[in-house]
Amino acid sequence: MSTRNHWKLVVLPILALCISACGSKLEALGDEELQDKAYGCSREHNPSPGAAIACDNYRKECQRRREQGRFVC
């Protein structure tokens, strides 16, 4: 495995953990930015485990906003 892939194995899970642990940060995310991130996730065909967790968190935030009547994603 190349060095380029090693950093992904370390950084992406840490990033996903930070995103999942900080729900308020997703709440503070602007509608357009959340929409962009959710759209990017929908285009991922085979995401890494960390990206899959982050995308699931974006999906949950989209659902939360939808329940508030804000159809963002």
* pTM, rounded to two decimals: 0.65
User: Is the model more confident about 10 or about 37?
Assistant: 37
Asked whether the predicted pLDDT for residue 54 surpasses 90, the reply is: yes
57 is a domain residue: yes
Domain of 60 in residue numbering reads as 3-67
Q: Does residue 72 fall inside a structural domain? A: no
- On the question of pLDDT at 51 being above 60, the answer is yes
Q: Looking at residues 62-66, what average pLDDT do you find?
A: 96
DSSP string, 1-36: --HHHHHHHHHHHHHHHHHHH-HHHHHHS-HHHHHH
pLDDT at 71 (0 to 100): 92
Q: Tell me the CA distances in angstroms from 23 to 9, 12, 26, 36, 38, one per residue in order.
A: 23, 17, 5, 18, 16
Residue 73 forms part of a structural domain: no
- Alpha-carbon span 34 to 8, nearest angstrom: 22
pLDDT at 4: 65
Domain count, the chain: 1
Among candidates 67, 15, 65, 14, which has minimal Cα distance to 35?
A: 65
